[in-house]
Homo-oligomer: A and B are copies of this chain.
Amino acid sequence: MLIRKNYPELGEVKAPYVHAVKHGDTLYISGLTAFATPAQQGDIASQAEAIFQQLHLIAASENTSLSHLIKVTIFITSFAQINDLRAVLFRHYGNHLPASSLVQISQLFSPDLKVEIEAIIAL
């Protein structure tokens, strides 16, 4: 069974995607950014913080938590502040580190954006 989910607290989606899709006991979460949050023009750490607030909210809406993170893919536009990003990741993961890929790409859909994170969570 396939369930398409938008979470109103994350704001309305106007582009061709939903926030997440549930397939069996796996939740696939779209690439999240700080767009339209107070951190949109912030540094990579504050943008990552804004993304993790969304991830926590999604996990809570699904009656789970980030302790169930399986895999993330992290797209960044610069490695300059990588230690700041890592500090945010360690803090939110706690003892539940996911599998992860991390690459620097050319641009995200707004020039303000410094990081996009997609995630897979076990339900």
Contact = CB atoms under 8 A, between A and B. Distances in A.
A99 B2 contact: no
A15 B86 contact: yes
A100 B97 CA distance: 23
Oligomer copy total: 3
A101 B116 contact: yes
A43 interface: no
Contacts of A20: 99
B108 A105 contact: no
A98 interface: yes
Contacts of A19: 99
A90 interface: yes
Interface of A is mostly: strand
Interface string A94-123: 001111111111111100000010101010
Interface in A1-47: 2, 4, 13, 15-21, 23-26, 28-31
Interface of A: 2, 4, 13, 15-21, 23-26, 28-31, 68, 70-73, 75, 79, 82, 86, 89-90, 93, 96-109, 116, 118, 120, 122
